[in-house]
Structure 1
Amino acid sequence: MYKDYDLTQESKRVQKVEPSLIRTVLNRVDELRKNGHEIIALSAGEPDFNTPSDIKAAAINAINENYTHYSSNRGYEALRKKIAEKIRKETGVSYDYRTEVLVTSSGAEAINNTILSIIDEGDEAILFSPAFVNYENMIKISGGVPVIIDLKRENGFEIEPFEVEKHITDKTKLVVINNPNNPSGAVYKSSVLEQLCELAVKYNFIIVSDEMYSSLTFGDTKFKSVASFPGMKERSVIINGFSKTYAMTGWRLGYITAGEIRINTILKIHQYSTTCSPTFIQIGAANGMDTEGTRQETALMIEEFARRRMLLMKGLDRILELSYVIPNGAFYIMVDVSKTGLTGMEFAKRLLEEKHVAVIPGVGLGRKCTDFIRISFAASAKNIEKALFRIAEFIKEL
């Protein structure tokens, strides 16, 4: 059967996967920097802050105390307890840390394992666009069928429940949301989430909610978890982590909360992928995440994100050829560049090559976002100001 098999051929599963435009841009940034160019990167979803000192000290101490062996597949128990306490305080939802919390090696692993544990060949999963690229590709890898609903700019990229209902079929098994949203910055209204949850009960599907940016909202905007609605704890899987809230992107530490039966199914995938997250990292997070020092550092970080958001919006307001959708959460802004005469892809490529400012083409995050670029304001205020100057200069030279 395999006599004529091409040993260099990738699997059919991999053939379904689209390369990430985000990674393409980041790789080009690295190349340009190696060639001596100063690049202002407003591309990555990575806070430029350092991890809080108490978390770093706790992790170093754990290494020195030789916590370098396996932890439980479910995660270090003290960390799971801290996570459950944090969620209860922030959302009002109570999870049993012993059976309803799973620690993962990053939010990406949490997404992968969750979708693999739910989707079978031919199952449909409703996704919203624009969105983080992992969801669609993991649905494809799992053998599922992505059903994509394009959100409208004029509606602030808000979900419309009546539109969701039109896309539900007898094969719909899953709806994936990201709240607050990367890349739009939308924070979904409580009334919208309530209607979405009612649809989940009516049509018997699961909601996977990626809430990685749940602590990053601005102004009077309030975040609400889908798990907090009646009957939804058992119908939802909540994904979160430490990367954005605690500036711990390189630590690769995430977590999943769900009902016991669902966690047990995800655990089957997790134990054959990463087995467990590094024990000393889990101990560092457990012992350092809720100290007074960490609370102060994370509060200052969130305040700074709010200042950077205003700085970026005011700067964009001065460039008449650009417009944007106001972000109410996360640290991204979707900018319409169509008045420049360029597509988002052309704009991003030329801006990087000619002015050494890196942004992400919108089409890499949504098929209908060809006129957009995504700008991250996780960079320093100084770099945001420099980037705005270069962007204005670039447009004048077109």
Structure 2
Amino acid sequence: MNKGAARLKEVKASKIRAVSDKANALEALGRPVIRFSTGEPDFATVSPIKQATMQAIEDNYSHYASNRGDLKLREEIAKQVECHHGIVYDPMEEILITSGGSEAINHVMLGLINPKDEVIVCTPAFLSYENMIHMAEGVFVDVPLKKENGFQLNIEDIKEAITPRTKMIVMNNPCNPTGAVYDPASIQALCELCIQHDLLVFSDEIYDQLVYDDKTCTSIAAYPSMKERTIMMNGFSKAYAMTGWRLAYLCAPKELIEPLLKVHQYATTCAPTFIQVGVAKVMNEEKTRQEVKEMVKRFDQRRQMVIKVLKEIPKLDFVIPQGAFYVFIDVSKTGLDGQQFADALLEEKGVAVVPGNALGSQCDDFIRLSYATSDENVMMGMQLIKEFIKEL
């Protein structure tokens, strides 16, 4: 009677949260900690959204919204997606507002994956994909990406992983944790595979505004014949510094949105109405766009700071990230694996990073470093890492 549901057997506790718990414990003892572990911008939420949301509270938008989400917000999202990617979604039937990206992943897996359906995930990858596939009683199929290829998609490996039970491929572009932005040629090849084998694609695009070095990130749904088989997820947590607001969305054809809506109705009902109203009012205004652009500029400056120091440490290997705000670092030349490195770095220097084994079965020798913290923390934390390796 007191056992959990059998479908949770393969669902693992978050190792990212475990790092945060260790950092919290050290801080409770009075030790300062620099957190390179959390994918959370240190910036304040862009000011127009804060002001518009406070006004929405004053205007008493405190009751239920539609299960699909506030229509005005869906309309503004449709405008933004068409502007950024050239894809036209019907705000009435092809957009669903969720309480954050994690809920969106939940809806996609529970709404579309049957027991024993196989779902291909290119790793290293955000850990929620694997665990939600398990929760849906699907089969997680791991296709490791290679550092020597810049963590780009390996189409031949994906092709070999496809079986008659494969239903979906998950892609995260730009990628957490590698910072890779997938090249158009490999995305086109992936599209051809999906069409040939009649596969769905879940495309997590939460970092699509956070790209550097004149890179562009085009949604896979914009490729020919792909909108009808793609479920696109995006949201406001990363580019707008709104992690605690819990607001995201799914775009997909009506036939795919309908099962996701069923899950959403009984999981959340709706995201907070005043947040939806406030965001809808200003998300596409010029002042909002300019604040987002300034934030991306600051992230790029921090990225350059991290890259500069990493290049000075011969025992660390990495691929220069082109998007998001992470660096995935091979620590094997230090004589430690990623878990040992992360544990010792936190204990000895008060710097928190995520061990790579949290993000992929082939990632034991890696750590993930997030540069979403302050300039001061980036500078100090990188020097502490440099000291730590000298002292090994």
Whole-Å separation in 2 of the counterparts to 1:320 and 1:229:
41
Matches within 5 A, 1:309-328: 309-328=303-322
Shift of 1:65: 1.0
Matches within 5 A, 1:379-390: 379-390=373-384
For these two proteins, the number of residue pairs brought into alignment is 392
> Which amino acid in structure 1 is aligned with residue 154 of structure 2?
E
Shift of 1:224: 1.2
Aligned pair partner of 1:284 in 278, 288, 305: 278
Whole-Å separation in 1 of the counterparts to 2:255 and 2:38:
35
Q: Which runs of 5+ in 2 are unaligned?
A: none
Matches within 5 A, 1:1-398: 5=1, 7=2, 9-398=3-392
Shift of 1:61: 0.7
> Which amino acid in structure 1 is aligned with residue 197 of structure 2?
Y
Whole-Å separation in 2 of the counterparts to 1:318 and 1:196:
37
Whole-Å separation in 2 of the counterparts to 1:35 and 1:113:
39
Identity percentage of aligned residues: 48
Whole-Å separation in 2 of the counterparts to 1:160 and 1:346:
29
Shift of 1:203: 0.4
Whole-Å separation in 1 of the counterparts to 2:229 and 2:136:
20
SS of the counterpart of 2:266?
coil
Whole-Å separation in 1 of the counterparts to 2:136 and 2:354:
27
> Which amino acid in structure 2 is aligned with residue 137 of structure 1?
N
> Which amino acid in structure 2 is aligned with residue 148 of structure 1?
D
Q: Which runs of 5+ in 1 are unaligned?
A: none
> Which amino acid in structure 2 is aligned with residue 248 of structure 1?
M
Shift of 1:367: 1.1
Shift of 1:124: 0.5
Q: Deviations over 1:69-104 (max 9, x none)?
A: 000000001100000000000000000111111100
Whole-Å separation in 1 of the counterparts to 2:222 and 2:174:
15
State the TM-score, normalized to the length of structure 1: 0.97
Whole-Å separation in 2 of the counterparts to 1:171 and 1:256:
25
Shift of 1:292: 2.6
Shift of 1:390: 0.7
Runs of 4+ deviating beyond 6 Å: none
RMSD, matched Cα:
0.8
Shift of 1:161: 1.3
Whole-Å separation in 1 of the counterparts to 2:237 and 2:27:
24
Whole-Å separation in 2 of the counterparts to 1:139 and 1:255:
19
Question: Which stretch of structure 1 is more off in the superposition, 90-99 or 285-294?
Answer: 285-294
